[in-house]
Amino acid sequence: MEVADLKTILSPALPVLKRLTDAGHQAYVVGGAVRNPLIGFPVVDYDITTSALPDSVLGLFSDCTVFTPGIGFGTVGVIYNGIKFEITSFRGEGGYRDCRRPQTVSFGCSLEEDVSRRDFTVNAMCFDGERLVDPCGGVRDCEDRILRAIGNADERFQEDALRILRAVRFVSEYGFTVEENTKSALFRTKSALNNISAERIREEFGKILCGENCVRALTEYAQIIAVFIPEIAPCFGFDQRTKYHAYDVYTHTLKTVAAVPPDPVLRLAAFFHDIGKPSSYFLGEDGQGHFYGHNAVSARMTDEIMQRLRYPNAVREQTVLLVAHHDEQIVFAEHPAGKRAFIAKTLRRFGEDGLRRLILLKKADNLAKGKDVADRLAALDAFWADAQAYLAEKPCFSLKNLAVDGNDVMSLGASGKRVGEVLNALLDGVISGTLTNDKACLMNAATILHGDKSAPPNNAHSEPALQSTPKTNATTNTDINMNTDIKDQTAALARAAEILKQGGHSVVFTDGRTTIVRDGSGIRPLVELLGDSSVAGMCAADKIVGKAAAVLFVALGVAGVHALVMSRAGAEVLKANGIPFSYDDMAEYIVRRDGNGMCPMEETVAGISDVNAAVQALCDKVGRKAP
Confidence at residue 100, expressed as pLDDT on a 0 to 100 scale: 60
Strand partners of residue 523: 516
Whether the predicted pLDDT of 371 surpasses 80: yes
Whether the predicted pLDDT of 545 surpasses 50: no
Whether the predicted pLDDT of 336 surpasses 50: no
CA distance 465 to 495: 18
Confidence at residue 400, expressed as pLDDT on a 0 to 100 scale: 86
Our measurement of the distance from residue 435's CA atom to the centroid of its chain's CA atoms, rounded to an integer in Å, reads 32
Task: State the average pLDDT over residues 535-552.
Answer: 31
Q: 3-class SS at 6?
A: helix
- Residue ranges per domain, the chain? 3-144, 229-390, 396-460, 465-622
pLDDT tens, 579-627? 444 443 323 444 443 444 445 555 555 555 444 555 566 556 544 443 3
Greatest mean pLDDT range, 109-123, 319-333, 425-439, 537-551: 109-123
CA distance 209 to 476: 56
Concatenated DSSP letters for 111-127?
HHHHHTTSSBGGG--EE
Confidence at residue 569, expressed as pLDDT on a 0 to 100 scale: 43
Direct distance between the N- and C-terminal alpha carbons of the chain, in angstroms, rounded to an integer: 81
Confidence at residue 193, expressed as pLDDT on a 0 to 100 scale: 96
CATH class (in words) of the domain with range 229-390: mainly alpha
CA distance 172 to 24: 41
Provide the whole-model pTM: 0.69
If one counts every other C-beta atom within 10 angstroms of the C-beta of residue 494, the result is 17
Confidence at residue 531, expressed as pLDDT on a 0 to 100 scale: 39
The residues, any chain, with a CB within 8 Å of residue 207's CB and separated by 6 or more, are: 169, 172, 173
Task: State the average pLDDT over residues 111-126.
Answer: 92
Whether the predicted pLDDT of 202 surpasses 80: yes
Confidence at residue 585, expressed as pLDDT on a 0 to 100 scale: 30
CA Rg, the chain, in Å?
32
Task: State the average pLDDT over residues 180-191.
Answer: 97
More confident residue, 275 or 392: 275
Whether the predicted pLDDT of 331 surpasses 70: no
Confidence at residue 512, expressed as pLDDT on a 0 to 100 scale: 35
pLDDT tens, 32-56? 999 999 999 999 999 999 999 999 9
Confidence band, pLDDT 50/70/90 cuts, at residue 532? very low
Confidence at residue 437, expressed as pLDDT on a 0 to 100 scale: 86
- Find, among 357, 347, 294, the residue nearest to 322 by Cα: 357
Q: Is 394 left (phi over 0), alpha (psi -120 to 50) or beta?
A: left
Helix, strand, coil percentages (3-state) for the chain, rounded to 5, are 50, 10, 35
Whether the predicted pLDDT of 517 surpasses 70: no
CATH class (in words) of the domain with range 3-144: alpha beta
504 DSSP assignment = T
Whether the predicted pLDDT of 551 surpasses 60: no
CA-to-CA separations, 232 to 131, 200, 227, 249, 420, in angstroms, rounded: 47, 19, 9, 10, 38
Task: Quote the mean pLDDT of the chain.
Answer: 76
Question: E strand or H helix at 147, and its extent?
Answer: strand 146-147
% pLDDT > 90, the chain: 46
Q: 3-class SS at 67?
A: strand
Task: State the average pLDDT over residues 454-477.
Answer: 28
% pLDDT > 70, the chain: 68
The residues, any chain, with a CB within 8 Å of residue 94's CB and separated by 6 or more, are: 102, 103, 104, 105, 106
pLDDT tens, 246-278? 999 999 999 999 999 999 999 999 999 999 999
Question: E strand or H helix at 359, and its extent?
Answer: helix 336-367
Q: 3-class SS at 198?
A: helix
Whether the predicted pLDDT of 378 surpasses 50: yes
Whether the predicted pLDDT of 570 surpasses 60: no
By CB atoms closer than 10 A (0-12, 13-18, 19+), residue 557 is middle
Whether the predicted pLDDT of 494 surpasses 80: no
Task: State the average pLDDT over residues 276-284.
Answer: 85
Whether the predicted pLDDT of 552 surpasses 80: no
Confidence band, pLDDT 50/70/90 cuts, at residue 560? very low
Task: State the average pLDDT over residues 355-378.
Answer: 92
Task: State the average pLDDT over residues 179-195.
Answer: 96
